Amino acid sequence: MHTDSMTQATTIQLPADWRDFFALTKPRVMSLVIFTGLCGLLAAPGTINPVIGFTAILCIALGAGGAAALNQWWEADLDGGMKRTASRPLPDGRLARGDALSFGILLSAASVMIMGLAVHWLAAIILAVSIFYYAVIYTIWLKPRTPQNIVIGGGAGAFPPMIGWVAVTGEITLMPVLLFAIIFFWTPPHFWALALFVKTDYAKVGIPMMPVVAGERATRQQILIYSVILLVVAAAPWLVGGTGAIYGGLAVALSLAFLVLSIPVATRAAGEGDEMKPEKRLFAFSILYLFALFAALVIDRIAYAQGLLG
Amino acid sequence: MTPEEEAEYRKLQKSRNKVLGLVLMFFVLLFYAITIVRMGD
């Protein structure tokens, strides 16, 4: 880091481009955050003023952006050591580290304050917990220490639908907890499928990712175990009577497809030069799965609200 | 700072200020809308 301090000094003299600040918020990850948050909000029983609803989703997005900026502030050195992340604004020297920290804190604090003042304080508290969970508990504490880091990190991504739901109802009931659980159990098989076919250099920077620490075989078995749990968890909102049959049917069908696609991944061993087709297929489907599942939740709610069914 | 560097500096500064201005304007409108909605509650 110190060897190129000369070049860094000259780069940092220039005011950072706003696009680099924007990149700090991990805009691509945010699409899923916004979508699941919006689905939680739309599926919740009750109504919310469109302006307040929009503000709630904006706050969820701002909070996620703030947490992402804090994550990159902390991991700048690690990111610099990995090919995939070396060109991010901080390791590339386009942005000063202190600026990233201030930006992250500003976004996080603003999102929680606005959520509390304009929408609901319980939703604001959960948002604050989720930011703390991702930036501190996950990024700083557990990610570098345990191969279960993805399982724990999944918790951070699982908050948005819960926050969206609570923004409408103002209380934590079983349903928002189940929505949380769905993303929580979906994240590990989703990420590990990717980890199997993308050879990352996490090992080089000392992050204990599951395939590196426990081996490929154990990772494959874990994917199958989580897929089975996911089948039960995804069907749970319907089983407990929180949704109708539209969601129930789609959730079971989608989760069965997820399980079927994870079986070849779990049972095979990839040799040299393997194309990793089953792993790529499972990963691609996992993204579609989550979007479809949450869309089903909203469709189910609207259909019953309109009296189309039952 | 050479004139080229200064021009680059000003350019970056200007584009950043412009974006910041737009963001602030957006929040002014948003808070106005929130206030109106909340007053109706």
- The answer to whether the Cβ–Cβ distance between A15 and B12 falls below 8 Å is yes
The residues, ordered by sequence, that sit 6+ positions from B38 with a Cβ below 8 Å of its Cβ are A118
pLDDT at A206: 81
Q: What is the mean pLDDT of chain A?
A: 91
Note the pLDDT tens digit of each residue in A200-214: 678 788 888 888 888
Cβ distance B33 to A51 less than 8 Å, yes or no, reads yes
Q: Which residue has the higher pLDDT, A147 or A21?
A: A21
* Interface pTM, i.e. ipTM: 0.91
Domains and CATH numbers, chain A: 17-170 (1.10.357.140), 173-310 (1.20.120)
- Looking at residue A251, its pLDDT comes to 98
CA nearest to B6 within chain A = A14
**pLDDT value at position A309?**
63
Give the global pTM.
Answer: 0.90
Q: Could you say which of B12, B15, B37 has the minimum Cβ distance to residue A49?
A: B37
Q: Span A207-223, mean pLDDT?
A: 88
Distances A125 to A45, A99, A108, A170 between C-alpha atoms, Å: 21, 26, 12, 11
Which pLDDT value is given to residue A13? 62
In A, which residues are within 8 Å of B37 by CB distance?
Answer: 49, 51-52
* Cβ-based contacts under 8 A for chains A and B: 28
Interchain contact B25–A (C-beta under 8 A): no
Q: Is B7 within 8 Å of chain A by CB? A: no
pLDDT band at A199 (very low <50, low <70, confident <90, very high): low
Q: Is the pLDDT of residue A39 over 70?
A: yes
Chain B hits for A16, Cβ within 8 Å: 12, 16
Confidence of residue A4 (pLDDT cuts 50, 70, 90): very low
pLDDT tops 60 at residue A6: no
Mean of the pLDDT values across residues A78-93?
Answer: 91
